């Protein structure tokens, strides 16, 4: 778990995306993403308000690729914007396939996985941004979503997607085949209430915050 001291008078909300070496904050109230080290040392900010390439309107999540680039999902621009390790604009992609992107992650193979909240699907792209496939649909079935929020991938390349409205986390193989789900609605330990961000540590323990306890992380082992 990453720990840092919050500066006096500051506030950080809705922490969605993190990486091993940096903390990336995509505040929904500002068209920017802020990058910190794990010691909370400010590095730089990405983006400015606007519709043009390199600009952001409603950034929702940040991910880091295997070559150090930053990926920012933009709900209003319906795309993913790519920046260099120093924050320079490179490209953007996904406009043909994304209607309301939210959670995003790059797996160990370089594939980019994006939760499209508006269409209730998960889209998979190549490292270049070329579309591969997508799965899911709106509904309450095993391979369906009501309000998908975030995505994480474990060391076995299994895909975990949190569903804010179903109070559940659903698991798929790397090709999108449904495997299982877990989570029971409630506020007691082991239960879920509107799960949001997801992240795995090096031991494949899954961490997530819930709507009622955004200042806490609930850990799950693979055996849970």
CATH of residue 201: 2.40.10.500
Q: What pLDDT, in 10s, does the model give residues 47-94?
A: 889 999 999 999 999 999 999 999 999 999 999 999 999 999 999 999
**215 and 153 both lie in a single domain:** yes
What integer pLDDT is reported at residue 47 of this predicted model?
85
Strands in 20-147 per DSSP E: 22-25, 33-37, 42-46, 59-64, 70-74, 79-83, 89-93, 101-106, 112-116, 121-125, 131-135
Residue 68 resides in a domain: yes
User: Same domain for 122 and 140?
Assistant: no
Which domain covers residue 215, as residue numbers? 136-224
Reply yes or no on whether the pLDDT at 216 is more than 90: no
Considering the domain architecture, whether residues 95 and 187 belong to the same structural domain is answered as: no
What is the per-residue pLDDT for 150?
95
Q: In 3D, which of 136, 173, 180, 135 has the Cα closest to residue 156?
A: 173
Whether residue 11 is predicted with pLDDT greater than 50 in this model: the reply is no
Question: Residue 219: exposed, middle, or buried by beta-carbon count in 10 A (0-12, 13-18, 19+)?
Answer: exposed
The CA distance from 160 to 102, in Å, is: 14
On whether both 210 and 146 belong to a single domain, the answer is: yes
Total domain count, the chain: 2
pTM for the model stands at 0.80
- Do both 156 and 221 map to the same domain? yes
Radius of gyration of the chain (CA): 16
């Amino acid at each position: 778990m990453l720990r840092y001291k919050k500066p006096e008078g500051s506030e950080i909300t809705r922490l969605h995306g993190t990486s091993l070496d940096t903390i990336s904050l995509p505040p929904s109230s500002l068209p920017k993403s802020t990058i910190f080290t794990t010691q909370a040392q400010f590095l730089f900010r990405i983006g400015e308000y606007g519709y043009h390439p390199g600009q952001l309107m409603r950034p929702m999540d940040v991910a880091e690729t295997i070559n150090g680039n930053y990926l920012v999902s933009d709900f209003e621009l319906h795309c993913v914007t790519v920046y260099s390790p120093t924050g320079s604009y490179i490209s953007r992609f996904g406009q043909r396939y994304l209607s309301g992107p939210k959670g995003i992650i790059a797996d160990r193979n370089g594939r980019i996985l994006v939760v499209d909240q508006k269409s209730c699907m998960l889209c998979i792209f190549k490292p270049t941004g070329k579309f591969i496939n997508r799965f899911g649909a709106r509904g309450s079935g095993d391979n369906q979503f009501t309000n998908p929020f975030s995505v994480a991938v474990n060391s076995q390349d299994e895909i975990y997607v949190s569903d804010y409205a179903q109070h559940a986390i659903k698991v798929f193989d790397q090709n999108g085949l449904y495997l299982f789900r877990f989570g029971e609605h409630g506020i007691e330990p082991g239960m879920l209430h509107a799960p949001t961000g997801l992240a795995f540590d090096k031991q494949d323990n899954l961490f997530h915050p819930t709507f009622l306890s955004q200042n806490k992380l609930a850990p799950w082992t693979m055996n849970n």
